[in-house]
Amino acid sequence: MELTLASYNIHSGIGTDGRFDLGRIAAVLEELRPDIAALQEVGDFRGATAREDHPEFLAERLGLYMAFGPNVIRGGRRYGNAILSRLPILHSKNYDLSVPGREPRGALRCDLDLGGHRALHVFALHMGLSIRERRAQEALLLTADILRDAVRNVPVLVCGDFNYLGNRPVPALVRRALSDASHLLGTPARTYHARFPFMRLDRIYVDMGVRALALHAHRSPLSVRASDHLPLILRFHAPVTETLPVAPPVELFG
């Protein structure tokens, strides 16, 4: 099965022109028509935008299944990561990656139904801005059962805004036998800043159960205005072997 994943920091729907327009984010995703969209900075807890139902709006507009992992809830407004999918979502779980004194962060996991007793684990995460914060979050990824929660023999993708400068891989993911798709394919896809992309903040990691086929940053007249990040797009082959998910997480969002 060939699928397309988009990892996209949507910046609360506020574009590079300073305007809030969640419809532009939806239109960018309509340009891409991904099977899976892993989104960061979804929602607005500061009250800077005209609406608070960001994940629901996008899911309804695009006709996709949705799971949302809010990391901040303030005054009824939520902010976090979301996964939209054409594939049914079997289960989802939100993990806390927050570091004291820093902006709350998290990782959202979805178990997607590939059909025929096959499943796919997708993690959407957003890491912190400082090196010290990211190191603490790497330790959480390894020690808080976040990656170990993934069911054995079920393929895994981990994607999002890692806020890593340079081109080195994320050590915690390498230790879990996950590979940077950019390194596998020799494609240094830069996604930030959307108008003049020069940094590779957004990344997609895959395990041995996923065969990466192509990777690129989606640059169009609309995507350079809709958010300060460009979407990162991976085309991949899902496994053909049968996998039976067991002991799924019990929390469900969306």
Strands 106-115 and 89-96: antiparallel
pLDDT in single tens digits along all 254 residues of the chain: 899 999 999 999 999 999 999 999 999 999 999 999 999 999 998 888 888 899 999 999 999 999 999 999 888 889 999 999 999 999 999 999 999 999 999 999 999 999 988 899 999 999 999 999 999 999 888 875 677 655 567 899 999 999 998 888 888 888 888 999 999 999 989 999 999 999 999 999 999 889 999 999 999 999 999 999 999 999 999 875 554 444 343 333 33
- 43 token code pair: 């929602």
* Closest by CA position to 122, among listed 114, 133, 130, 134: 114
Report the interhelical angle of 22-32 vs 54-62 (nearest 10°).
Answer: 40
Q: Decide if domain 2-237 falls under CATH 3.30.465.10.
A: no
Give the per-residue pLDDT at 174.
Answer: 86
Give the span between the Cα atoms of 77 and 157, in whole angstroms. Answer: 29
Give the predicted TM-score (pTM) of the model: 0.92
Instruction: Transcribe 158-180 into DSSP letters.
Output: EEEE----SS---HHHHHTT-EE
Backbone angles phi, psi at 195, to 5 degrees: -75, -35
Give the per-residue pLDDT at 131.
Answer: 92
227 three-class SS:
coil
